[in-house]
Structure 1
């Protein structure tokens, strides 16, 4: 019997990026369906989060994501441009956000056809893998193609239905919170949340308890 789990995930989260190819490998190796459900990052949902957080939080996060990437042998570099326009010195979030709405809506449009995990994996490799100008040229079109999608087709969806997609993204956030967490990446299996890129093995253990089988 195929097991199913949801993944709640953000394009601005480096930990989401560091987890995604491992989620994808799980679905390839096991009789498992993983539904990636994108959410908007804290910078959109709670813009004052960074201003209120402990002063050392950002420095520690930078240190940790680089070492996790090194440990997992995953290419890593800060996004250029950042999906969120933010003054790092003051931590203030800009009123205009030209990137995060487009890319998150593309992820949700991909989710409608069951390809969000593949698309978000390929797109996040552009954003967090050290490339420059991920939003320009043919980069996203090629990422979409690798995920089995036509970028022009999903771009047409986000142009036609931005409000509907935002409602679906809000529903993803509500489902995450209903499952008992608020952060990303979180895998939810059988109502149980597993938060963080360091809980994938624990989630696998739980799914194996419930009968997960290799393909």
Structure 2
């Protein structure tokens, strides 16, 4: 029997990116369906979050995400541009956020078609894999094609159905919190949340307890 799970994911979260490829590989190897549930990043939900953090937070996080990428042989580099428009000096988040809103809506449109996990991985490799100008030209179109989706169709849907997509994204966040967590990446399996890119092996262990089999 095919097992099912939900992956709560942010396109601005480096740890979400560091997890999504491994979850995609797991879903391809095992009889498992992981549905992507995109959420807005903290910078949208709590714009003052970064201003309130300890001064060491950013430096440590940067060091940690880079070594996680190296340890798992995952291509990694700072996003160019950052999906969030933010003043680097003051950490203040801009009101207008065209990049993150566009790519998150695209992710939700992909999730409607059951291809969210693939899209998130392909788009994540653009954003966090070092692709300069990932938001320009045909980079996203090519990534969408690699996820077996039609970019023009998704773009048209994002433009025509913004309010419904935004409502679905907000509902994803509510579902995440109802499941017992608030951050990403979090995978929820049979009502049990597993937070962090370092819980993937534990997720696999739990699913094997429930009879997960290779395809």
Band of TM-score, shorter chain = over 0.9
Whole-angstrom CA distance in 2 between matches of 1:194 and 1:211: 18
- Partners of 2:192 and 2:33 lie apart in 1 by 16
Displacement of 1:171 after TM fit?
A: 0.5
User: Does 2:193 match 1:193?
Assistant: yes
SS for the counterpart of 2:6 is: strand
Partner secondary structure for residue 99 of structure 1? helix
Report what 1:20 is aligned to.
20
2:141 corresponding residue in structure 1: 141
Mark the runs of 5 or more structure 2 residues left unpaired by the alignment.
none
1:5 Cα deviation after fit? 0.3
What corresponds to 1:113 in structure 2? 113
Distance in 2, matches of 1:36 and 1:88, equals 30
Shift of 1:137: 0.7
- Aligned residue number for residue 46 of structure 1: 46
- Write the deviation string for residues 124-176 of structure 1: whole angstroms up to 9, x where unpaired: 10000011000111101000000001110000101111000000000000000
Give structure 1 regions of 4+ aligned residues with deviation exceeding 3 angstroms.
none
- 3-state DSSP class of the match of 1:145? helix
Equivalent-residue separation in structure 2 for 1:15 and 1:124 (angstroms):
10
Per-residue deviation at 1:88? 2.0
SS in 1 for 2:141: helix
Instruction: Quote the residue 2:36 is aligned against.
Output: 36
1:1-215 equivalences under 5 Å are: 1-215=1-215
C-alpha distance in 2, partners of 1:151/1:214? 31
The one-character-per-residue Cα deviations of 1:60-104 (angstroms, maximum 9, x if unpaired) are: 100100111111111110000000001122111011111010000
Q: Please give the alpha-carbon distance, in whole angstroms, between the structure 2 residues aligned to 1:11 and 1:122.
A: 11
Task: State the TM-score, normalizing by the size of structure 2.
Answer: 0.99
State how far apart, in whole Å, the 2-side matches of 1:72 and 1:89 are: 31
Question: How far apart in 2 are the matches of 1:144 and 1:179?
Answer: 30
Distance in 1 between residues matched to 2:54 and 2:88, nearest whole Å: 14
> Structure 1-normalised TM-score?
0.99
Q: CA RMSD in A?
A: 0.6
In 1, Cα distance between the equivalents of 2:29 and 2:150?
26
